[in-house]
């Protein structure tokens, strides 16, 4: 019997659909914004990178677009089977949403114990605005020199109308703490203070 293909072997969403079934292994949620050109996305939500769906929902609120790709598998292998890397993430509903947006924040998770946030992506202006706002909430923030720069033009966060976005990596400690109020407030405050993005 052949071993299942791991997600890091996929070159795109089409490969993933051959191995897994929507509604059984994963779910997709998309909400287009009415009066905003901003979207918050969690391409590794549900049981893939725990907590990222919930944080993305809070950041988006009712104002902005929202996209969630959520792992549903009960076997504990969601990351291994469903983690489609960001530069290969081309799920059509996600691309349709972000192609209509000037600004995208992609919420991800990584393994670290502290209340840490790593900012990547090509939107340097938004990263510069987010960093001090997040630090004011007691979070440790790095905007460069980390292992998730998110600068590839194919990265899903950068496939907006403006060809730039932000990749926000949240530490495991922060995600598991569920102490997200300051994080969410920091992000929403910055977005609210950028009227040209709304």
Which structural domains are found in the chain, ordered by start? Answer: 7-191 (3.40.630.100)
pLDDT in tens, 114-162: 779 999 999 999 999 999 999 999 999 999 989 999 999 999 999 999 9
Q: How confident is the model at residue 109 (pLDDT cuts 50, 70, 90)?
A: very high
Q: What is the model's pTM?
A: 0.94
pLDDT in tens, 166-197: 999 999 999 999 999 999 999 999 999 875 44
CA-CA distance, 169 to 149, in Å (whole number)?
10
């Amino acid at each position: 019997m052949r071993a299942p293909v791991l997600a890091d072997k996929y070159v795109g969403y089409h490969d993933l659909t051959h191995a897994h079934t929507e509604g059984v292994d994963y779910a997709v949620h998309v909400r287009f914004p009415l009066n905003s050109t901003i979207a918050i996305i969690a391409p590794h939500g549900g049981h893939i990178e725990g907590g990222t769906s919930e944080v993305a929902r809070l950041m988006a609120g009712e104002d902005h677009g929202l996209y969630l790709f959520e792992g549903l598998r009960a076997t504990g292998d969601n990351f291994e089977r469903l983690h489609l890397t960001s530069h290969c993430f081309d799920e059509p509903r996600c691309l349709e949403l972000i192609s209509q947006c000037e600004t995208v924040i992609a919420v991800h998770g990584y393994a670290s114990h502290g209340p840490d946030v790593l900012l990547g992506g090509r939107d340097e202006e938004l990263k510069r605005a987010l960093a001090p706002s997040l630090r004011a909430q007691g979070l440790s923030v790095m905007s460069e020199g980390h292992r998730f720069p998110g600068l590839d033009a194919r990265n899903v966060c950068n496939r907006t109308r403006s060809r730039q976005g932000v990749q926000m990596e949240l530490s495991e400690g922060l995600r598991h703490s569920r102490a997200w109020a300051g994080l969410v407030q920091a992000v929403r405050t910055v977005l609210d203070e950028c009227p040209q993005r709304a």
